[in-house]
Every structure is written in C-alpha cells, then in structure tokens.
A and B are shown apart, each in its own frame.
Chain A
C-alpha cells in the first residue's frame, strides 16, 4: 500500500514538476494583469444561476445590495490578507506548499478530492448549458424541485453537450483557453444587455427614477418562491464571501498570487468580484424576475437577450467546464497506472456528463458551492496556522518532511474532525465554515504543540 501511494505521489510530482521552484523575480506580473485575470474568471455560467436563485429565495432588495457589497469586500480582504501574503512570501503553488506540511500522501489525496469536487461543478455547468439548448429547441427542462432526470430529451441533450465539452477539453485545451479569454468581456455585455433589455417589461422608467420601487416590489420583494427557504442579509453576505472559499481562505490561489509583486495585489480581486459577483448576479436576478421566476437559465437568457443570450449560456458553461475537466484529468491521471491523459480526461468527462443529467446539481448549486468550500477549508486553516501562528509559538516548520510522514496524522485528524464538527453545528450551511475555520486553526495548533510537548 505504502509503495503504491509513493508511486502515485511520484507521478503527481512529475505532473507538477514545472512549478516546483519558487517564481523568479523576473517572472512577476503587473497589477493590471491580475485585474484582467480576475475580471475574466468571475463572469461565468454560475452567475446565471446564483443571482436568479437569490430572487427565488425571496431576498429583499436592500439586503441584496448591502449583502453583496459587504460579502464581496470580505472576499477581497480574504485574498489580500490571507492568500496573497503567503503566496508572496513562499512563491509556491498550494500543492508544493502543502507537501512538507501534510505529507505527500495527504497532499495527493487533497488534489484528487479537489478534482472530483471540480467534476461535479463542471457537471452543473453542462446542465446550465443544456437548459439553453432545450429552451431554443422547445424541449422540456427540469422543474425546480427535480432531483432525477425528468425526460429522455433532457438526458440526451445534456449527455451530448457533456461529450462535446469533454472532446474539446481533450483536443485543444490551450488554444481553446485562449479563445475563451475573448468570451469574458462579451459575457459581461450579455448580462448587462439582458437585464437592461427587460427594464421596460418590468415597468422601469428610462430615467431610472422608479427602479428602486420596482426592485422592491417586483424583483427582490422578500417573498420566496414555493419550496425555497427565505434568505436574508447574512445569507447574502456569507454566500458572496465563501463563493470562492477554496481560492482565498483555502489558498488555491497561491498559484496565481505567487506571481504578484506585493501582497497588496490581492485588492485587484475586486475587479472580478464586483463586476462578476455583484453586477452579474444583480443582472441575472432582474432577468429572473422578468420571466416570472422560472428556474431555467437558458430560457431566462433567451427570453431576455434573444439568441445571443442562449449562446452566452452555452459558451459560459463551456468556458467554465473546459479548464475544470482539463484540471480534473490532470490530477486523476496521477492516480491511474500509466494511463494516457486523454483517456483519463475522457473518463472524467463522461462521468461528469452523466452527473450533469441529474438536475439537482444545478438546482442545488448554492448548497454545492457551500459544501465545496467547506470540504477544502480545513486545509487552508492548517496552512495558515503553519505559516503565521506555529512559528511564533516555537513549533518546527514542515512537520511531515521532518518526520518523513506520508500522511500528517494531526492534519488528517483536524481535517476530518472539522468536517464532523461542521456537520453537527446547529447553523445554516452557509454559516458553518467560519466557526469551522476557527476551530480547525485552534485544534491544529493545539495538536501540534501537544505533540511537541509529548516528544520532548
């Protein structure tokens, strides 16, 4: 078993060989480049669903605007004060930063778990794209409470789109990624155009003077749709904060910020948060209200922005799913024996396409985003404790490397214990991660100090 894990780890190491060394000074990037990266990355297919769901959950207009302002500010501050400083000091990706802390075996497990969670997210994107095709073709789409596939046509269209996305991810990831970069500004235009285009339908005057009145009575009126739990200010604040939890608090974006000249570059994340996670969510909420709260992102965009809107949903789904499938294939390749990457990506893509046929993956997207961040958050807490707290308490750095651990048992215990603690915590799913993060940090520091005392 240990030999097998060692073999898997060495294959994963070869895969990430190119970023083993800290980034050289000459490779550091300008702030403008970070602004562009964030702006491009955070206007995606998920935005068509998230903003629309806030309307279904009966958020009030004032709570939405204030919640998004505050929650996105907290996300920007998390990138600036938690992720970017560690990235700038270490200049390493999370994979290489975690290795001497978690041990190579646990780091590999983290990587594979991340890939699997990403596959489900890609599945949701395929479902969203499928709603666009079904809406244009006049085929049935799932109802808001559906868990299982409701019709054969839905399954056939969704699976075909999944196969198409998988083929594209296998055939030309890099070229297509370059093409995807031209989609972001256009997607943003479609969000704004769709929302502004339905203003006359909602009764908003061209001089904008009655917008707030319409917003409070017809869009975010505080009345949840049947079967949806009501959301308030703090649901919005926390959702906007943890929407990218794995990236900032979870430290995945070390990969990005290791190219930053200063930790202050974390502030550039605002260029992604406010257009993508505020304006685009508001726009999709407005579009949702204009189609009488029907849960169908494809129909919503088609009805509000015409064929360009339906194409936008399709392209947004693909641009989000494409790198996700590619990364999942890359991570899973290392745990398979000498299997070509295209075969692994194909297998991961087909499994993702099958997952996408279950409408629950996009109809419960808000909960899934919360679970995704929550699952990986304890590792971020461990890395934070190792970087900032334990050196000040006199603990030796890089415990797994020093002791030759394949799996750091303390980290594994804290990771599993935190997830159990969060599971039992009597709080709404959206609020569980913060006490969980604090508990993980304290528990890991405690265990490390206890272990040092026992050893002494």
Chain B
C-alpha cells in the first residue's frame, strides 16, 4: 500500500497532464478533456493526502 499510493497518485497527475494532449490530437472533445481533467484532479486529491498521512505515521 505504501508503494501503491504514491504510484497511483503520480499516475493520476500524469493522466491529467495527458488529457489536453488527447484533446489536441482529436481523441477527446473539449468537454471530455475538461471532465477527464477534473476526475484526475479529484483522484490526486484523494490519493496524495492519504499518502501524506501514511508517510507521517511511519516510524
């Protein structure tokens, strides 16, 4: 879990970064890009604080 959380958090950030490029290349519409960016953002804000809390609890 300690390795999974940072990896998943990083993946959500990278996915968020990828969405505008997918829109630029015509894979996603503008609305889909904005929704996907919002979902990736929410995922980051769930995963990153969890990771932070777990890291602080570690001795």
Listed by A's residue number, 14 A-B pairs whose Cβ atoms lie within 8 Å are A179-B52, A182-B44, A182-B45, A186-B16, A189-B16, A190-B41, A192-B17, A194-B20, A196-B20, A196-B23, A197-B33, A306-B33, A306-B34, A308-B40
A186–B13 touching, CB < 8 Å: yes
Q: Which residue of B lies closest to A186 (CB)?
A: B44
Give A138 Cβ to nearest chain B Cβ, in Å: 17
Q: Which residues of A contact B (CB under 8 A)?
A: 178-179, 181-182, 185-186, 189-190, 192-197, 199-200, 204, 206, 305-309, 311
B13–A197 touching, CB < 8 Å: no
CA distance A185 to B35 in the complex (A): 19
B37–A186 touching, CB < 8 Å: no
Interface size of B as a range = 20 to 34
Give A250 Cβ to nearest chain B Cβ, in Å: 32
A193–B13 touching, CB < 8 Å: no
Name the B residues within 8 Å of A307 (CB-CB).
Answer: 34, 38
CA distance A204 to B25 in the complex (A): 11
A196–B21 touching, CB < 8 Å: yes
B30–A311 touching, CB < 8 Å: no
Contact partner, B25, options A181, A185, A206, Cβ 8 Å: A206
Question: Other than the known A185-B13, A186-B45, A199-B20, what 16 A-B pairs have Cβ atoms closer than 8 Å?
Answer: A189-B13, A192-B17, A193-B16, A193-B17, A196-B21, A196-B23, A197-B23, A197-B34, A206-B26, A306-B33, A306-B37, A308-B38, A308-B40, A308-B41, A309-B37, A311-B41
A179–B49 touching, CB < 8 Å: yes
Name the A residues within 8 Å of B37 (CB-CB).
Answer: 190, 193, 197, 305-306, 308-309
What string of 1s and 0s marks CB contacts (under 8 Å) between B7-22 and chain A? 0000001001101110
Give A133 Cβ to nearest chain B Cβ, in Å: 17
B49–A182 touching, CB < 8 Å: yes
Which of A182, A197, A305 gathers most chain B CB within 10 Å?
Answer: A197
What total of A-B pairs shows CB separation below 8 Å?
Answer: 68
Name the A residues within 8 Å of B44 (CB-CB).
Answer: 182, 186
Give B1 Cβ to nearest chain A Cβ, in Å: 18
Contact A206-B24, Cβ < 8 Å, known A306-B34, A306-B38: yes
Contact partner, A193, options B20, B30, B35, Cβ 8 Å: B20
Give B8 Cβ to nearest chain A Cβ, in Å: 13
What 7 A-B pairs come out closest when comparing CB atoms?
Answer: A306-B34, A196-B20, A197-B20, A182-B48, A308-B41, A308-B38, A193-B20
Contact A199-B38, Cβ < 8 Å, known A189-B17, A192-B17, A193-B17: no
Name the B residues within 8 Å of A178 (CB-CB).
Answer: 52
Which of A185, A194, A200, A308 gathers most chain B CB within 10 Å?
Answer: A308
Q: Which residue of A lies closest to B33 (CB)?
A: A197
A196–B24 touching, CB < 8 Å: yes
CA distance A344 to B24 in the complex (A): 50
Name the B residues within 8 Å of A197 (CB-CB).
Answer: 19-20, 23-24, 30, 33-34, 37
